Amino acid sequence: MAGRLQDKICIITGAGSGMGKAMAHRFVAEGAKVILADISGKQDEVAAAVGNGAIGVHCDVAQEDPVKALIQTALDKYGRLDVLCNNAGFGGGMAPLHKQTAEHWDRIHAVNVRGVFLCMKYGITAMLETGGGSIVNTGSASAVVGWKHHSVYAAAKAGVHHMTKIAALDYSDKNIRVNAIAPGTMWTGLVAASKTHETPPEGFPMLAGIPMGRWGSAMDIANAALYFASDEANYVTGTILPVDGGYSIGFSGMGAERPGLTTAEPENL
């Protein structure tokens, strides 16, 4: 039986770890041909692990020439691009707004906003030439509700959400769908303890107010990305889908901090 992404050509950025890595495994399991981009150097390791001819590409999405080369890799190898998952991003550096630095603002926005813009710009250019496609952006629940000490990161992800909506309008008549996922409290990336524990240790605290009462997983995000990437979502565009255990709809306005998050240097998600 054919997979839900059978023979679709997909680029996933931030594919060296976390949610991007989970997307790679999920997409290949559904028959996709994937090109995995990351700046960490781990993209080749993930490509080898997922198999099916996966290609790893070193790419800094904040830089225009590497992004153009990334998109061109898909065109040179397969002649088209069907799915683009803009997942590369990082957070960290949580602090009250007056303690944030302009340097931190620039670094966060370079990857999380400029990177999504550049990848969409050149990905859409390719899709216009080959009949359309699906774009899946990774936003954040922090752009839907307020998270204490996340002013810079939340502003960047809010930009991703709005670019998603406008691009969806711009290309709705060109067979290009643009949607975004808004992850909530995920056991990956920003959680310091996730570096040493694959799943939350017993008794590990979590943000109050999660109706489903658990941390989210990278595969929860990958499953949502799979839906948006597949033809099952062919009448869905401009949607921001919270994958947050109900947090954003049940938000109490407490302004609580997310427990267990690292305040170290930003890292790729």
State pLDDT tens for residues 27-46. Answer: 999 999 999 999 999 999 99
Instruction: Give residue 106's pLDDT.
Output: 97
| Residue 144 pLDDT exceeds 70 | yes
What does residue 180 show for φ and ψ, rounded to 5 degrees? -140, 150
Cβ atoms < 10 Å from Cβ of 78: 18
Instruction: Give residue 207's pLDDT.
Output: 65
Domain boundaries, the chain: 9-243
| Residue 167 pLDDT exceeds 80 | yes
How does DSSP classify residue 90? B
| Residue 256 pLDDT exceeds 80 | no
pLDDT category of residue 141 using cuts at 50, 70 and 90? very high
| Residue 152 pLDDT exceeds 80 | yes
In tens, the pLDDT along 172-225 reads: 999 999 999 999 988 875 566 666 666 777 777 776 778 888 889 999 999 999
CB 54 within 8 A of CB 83: no
| Residue owning tokens 């995000």 | 221
Instruction: Give residue 112's pLDDT.
Output: 97
CB 253 within 8 A of CB 201: no
Q: Which of 153, 171, 235, 247 is catalytic?
A: 153
**Of 95 and 194, more confident:** 95
| Cα 255 from chain centre | 24
Is 171 a known active-site residue?
A: no
The mean pLDDT value for 152-156 works out to 96
**Closest by CA position to 258, among listed 213, 209, 211, 217:** 209
Instruction: Give residue 191's pLDDT.
Output: 67
What does residue 83 show for φ and ψ, rounded to 5 degrees? -140, 135
Please state, for a pLDDT cut of 70, what percent of the chain lies above it. Answer: 88
- What's the pTM? 0.91
How does DSSP classify residue 145? S
* CATH classification for the domain delimited by 9-243, as one of 3.30.460.80, 3.40.640.10, 3.40.190.290, 3.40.50.720: 3.40.50.720
CB 49 within 8 A of CB 67: no
CB 226 within 8 A of CB 8: no
